[in-house]
Copies of this chain bind each other. A is one copy, B any other.
């Protein structure tokens, strides 16, 4: 053991849900947490990346007025920084525009760190807006050197963390982040942070944004990880949260000194001669003042302040597994948060959706109920000539289970009226694609009429398998303002429903789960008349869309040549439909939309 004195920092992690462009609302949340941090004598409070503006603001960044407003609010936040260090994400303007972290202390802007690694792949367009930063800083407060970097910066072993810790001697890295969710992301992110902490022998406070923004969901999951790679504490996933943690640092220096590899790296960096600025911050440790006592935060004075001295860090139990029992639960939480925030942040109170008696509308209605309460959800049952008796009954039973209002509006009279109107133009005889789509579009119109009349947001109910192959009707079942499960493959829809039934006592009627999927737009229709079984379809789609496998690769996986060819052709030729689809929550590693920018006009065919 080293004989060096033990150092301590009291850290406040503010995992907030900012809204893009809502400077006033975001400021309210920010100042609330700063006040609470001060009342609890925190040394440092950290907020997520671009907490001031919300993330991603996209082309709002190109508006000079937007940048100005963000700077004006940073000025306001600065005034709260007496006797505390505030670290907060904002947009910096300094000849160029940067994605930055302000370090505020004693009513001063002590330093601005500009993000060095700008993601410009997947859903990210940061090179469109920002210049890359190039300077590193080491801050010192209460005798402890620490450093700040931003989201993507920590994803690279050669990034600023290494330089800040090994060369700059930082004992703590605060990474402020706006890292969106997808399946597997939470684990992936923690592995990277683990490696970064252990490789550089440095504690890391990771502060992530939480909340939904259009197609993205930020999952929170902020955490503090020790220099030995132990997650000391973790904020809740998929909701606003905070924690206060007394981080005792006794080992960092001693273990570093013993490590030859560490010393060698440090020597090699001296040669690089990279710029590094040292900045001293200042906190007066005084008792609460009379003034502070007046702050509207009395109810929180009993906050449990955690630390890594009293607990056995080797036995740290990861809270995550207590909160999230399985992947389906995690995804469901993402969908619920994304749907809630889209509805609320866009000023809606209630939603409406069509209930077909199928599994997709069942899951969507459950998500809507979880998101904004059953009392705010209305399901419309719109039977046609080809709807089975069971479909209506199943929808009604589901609605009773989840306690949403329903209304039955048969579409047959309107359908007959269209057929009569178009009788000289349409072919006589059996139901063709025109007549199938017509029925779906009448339903879309009815839902949109209710939206116009009552101000309800229409939720579309299509899943990723359908949307991928275009097994859906533009302006029909695709109609709606938001499409919660558009990035969920059909097989995953089943898995999530089964999870729901296990957890909530068969909330989804078994009939809905058992029946063969059907659009019910003509007699005895089944999805599998036109599509391969969903198990096979989803396998092809994942390979083609998420893994960029081509025809030859997929056939090598043992899948039938003709089926593979047909599916790839369907995916490629339905880009035009997806382009006009409602936004929905990204859940997979490769969602449609900003994440997969495809030309509609595209003659590329490998087959």
Chain B residues near A341: list those with CB within 8 A.
Answer: 601
How far does the alpha carbon of A427 sit from the alpha carbon of B450 in the complex, in Å? 11
**Out of B128, B449, B583, which one reaches A579, CB within 8 Å?**
B583
The answer to the question of A142 belonging to the interface, with a C-beta cut-off of 8 Å to chain B, is no
Chain B residues near A125: list those with CB within 8 A.
Answer: 125, 128, 597
Chain B residues near A579: list those with CB within 8 A.
Answer: 582-583
The answer to the question of A434 belonging to the interface, with a C-beta cut-off of 8 Å to chain B, is yes
Q: Least Cβ distance of A385 to chain B in Å?
A: 15
Count chain B CB atoms within 10 A of each CB in A20, A345, A474 and give the residue with the most.
A474
The answer to the question of A21 belonging to the interface, with a C-beta cut-off of 8 Å to chain B, is yes
The answer to the question of A557 belonging to the interface, with a C-beta cut-off of 8 Å to chain B, is no
How far does the alpha carbon of A64 sit from the alpha carbon of B594 in the complex, in Å? 20
Verify B598–A59 contact, CB threshold 8 A: yes
Verify B449–A342 contact, CB threshold 8 A: no
How far does the alpha carbon of A316 sit from the alpha carbon of B550 in the complex, in Å? 52
Chain B residues near A479: list those with CB within 8 A.
Answer: 475
Given A420-B413, A434-B453, A548-B62, A600 and B214 contact (CB-CB distance below 8 Å): yes
Verify B600–A346 contact, CB threshold 8 A: yes
Q: Least Cβ distance of A412 to chain B in Å?
A: 9
Given A63-B550, A66-B604, A437 and B421 contact (CB-CB distance below 8 Å): no
Q: Least Cβ distance of A485 to chain B in Å?
A: 18
How far does the alpha carbon of A188 sit from the alpha carbon of B448 in the complex, in Å? 45
The answer to the question of A160 belonging to the interface, with a C-beta cut-off of 8 Å to chain B, is no
The answer to the question of A495 belonging to the interface, with a C-beta cut-off of 8 Å to chain B, is no
The answer to the question of A121 belonging to the interface, with a C-beta cut-off of 8 Å to chain B, is yes
Q: Least Cβ distance of A205 to chain B in Å?
A: 28
Q: Least Cβ distance of A289 to chain B in Å?
A: 35
Given A579-B583, A580-B581, A603 and B62 contact (CB-CB distance below 8 Å): no
1/0 per residue, CB under 8 A from B, across A17-61: the answer is: 001111101000000000000000000000000000000111110
The answer to the question of A292 belonging to the interface, with a C-beta cut-off of 8 Å to chain B, is no
Verify A65–B550 contact, CB threshold 8 A: yes
Which segment, of A79-87, A439-447, A498-506, faces chain B? A439-447
Verify B448–A445 contact, CB threshold 8 A: no
Verify B128–A601 contact, CB threshold 8 A: no
Verify B603–A19 contact, CB threshold 8 A: yes
1/0 per residue, CB under 8 A from B, across A335-350: the answer is: 0000001100110000
A-B contacts, 24 listed (Cβ < 8 Å): A20-B601, A20-B604, A21-B602, A23-B604, A58-B597, A58-B598, A59-B596, A59-B598, A60-B599, A62-B548, A63-B550, A64-B548, A125-B128, A212-B601, A214-B599, A214-B600, A345-B601, A410-B421, A413-B421, A414-B421, A416-B417, A418-B446, A427-B453, A434-B449
6 nearest A-B residue pairs (beta carbon): A21-B604, A417-B417, A22-B603, A65-B550, A434-B452, A475-B475
Extra contacts, 17 of them, besides A65-B550, A213-B599, A442-B445 (Cβ < 8 A), are A20-B602, A20-B604, A21-B604, A56-B599, A57-B602, A58-B598, A60-B602, A62-B548, A125-B128, A410-B421, A413-B420, A425-B453, A426-B449, A434-B449, A437-B449, A475-B479, A580-B580
